[in-house]
Amino acid sequence: MENIFYSLGGMYLNYRSSELLEKAKYYCNELSKHHILSKYWYELALVLKGSTARGNSDQYSDIDLVFFCDKNILDRIVKDYYDEGLISREDGIFLPLPEWIGHYNLESYDNLIGYFKEKNYPEIWEYTNVIILHDELNRFSGIIEEYIDYVFQDVIADIKDKYLNLQLTLDWLRHPLKRGDELSVILHCSNIIRLICQLSYLIDEKTYPHDKWLFYYLKETEFGSRKENKIKELGKNIINNNIPLQVDKELDEYSQYVLADGIITDLKNQIQLKYGNQPWLDEWYSFV
């Protein structure tokens, strides 16, 4: 069967991504002839993920390939690799492609299903933005289609958890600011920015990426498109190396707190606009 090249995200590929995609196709064909993998090829699915699949590769990008198969097949492949000295570990495979242009590893279909059942948003985001290079039995694409609607069932519960965590972290920020504990301020503000970004995706019923890409794609959310600059301003104001953090000031004298509080208030209004007046929006302290 001829290889199928299918982008779940349907994104435009820049020149670098197109170049790497052609190399990924080549290595897909080469791997299909591998003396071990070829024995199981019909039962394998192979996807290209990462920036190459999403179409925004740059000079730092490589080819990131992942095989999926049933757990028993995975165990047999790992054993075959181990017995032939191709790997030194028995808990999985991670092998570089020639000249370190990229790498490939194996996962089970159970792991893929688990990402959806556990609502592991970053991994779901990762595997719903791939290019399928080989999936003769349609196992990978079938799992995506079967479980994608499950992800946002009761999304308001996930929004609530993130929001309460966000308000709690803002509340905890007060003391490090007043103590002049700069490192703790950095940690709390960084977590606040992460939670704001994650909530921006969830409000739109979108999965969100790992931290590496969390802010990069934020502009694709409604809240992020409007508040991107404010969030960036908060990041830049976490610590000013030229001005030591003053101790025991009023909260409205700390730009970090004022900026974070303003963004969170806007975020609360966005949640309220879309999901109605939730009791935990104003009285969050009663729910933590």
Q: CA-CA distance, 17 to 226, in Å (whole number)?
A: 29
Residue predicted with more confidence, 1 or 13: 13
Query: What is the rounded average pLDDT for all residues in the chain?
Result: 93
Identify the pLDDT of residue 11: 55
Q: Is a pLDDT exceeding 70 seen at residue 6?
A: no
Neighbouring CB atoms inside 10 A of 197's CB total 23
Identify the pLDDT of residue 90: 86
pLDDT (tens digit, 9 = 90+) per residue, 64-92?
999 999 999 999 999 999 999 999 988 88
The strand pairing partners of 6, in sequence order, are 132
Identify the pLDDT of residue 237: 93
Identify the pLDDT of residue 89: 87
Share of the chain above pLDDT 90, in %: 89
Identify the pLDDT of residue 241: 76
Q: For strand 45-49 and strand 131-135, is the pairing parallel, antiparallel, or unpaired?
A: antiparallel
Q: CA-CA distance, 242 to 236, in Å (whole number)?
A: 13
Mean pLDDT, to the nearest integer, of 40-54? 96
Q: Is a pLDDT exceeding 50 seen at residue 3?
A: no
Candidate from 4-13, 69-78, 158-167, 240-249 with smallest mean pLDDT: 4-13
Q: Is a pLDDT exceeding 90 seen at residue 108?
A: yes
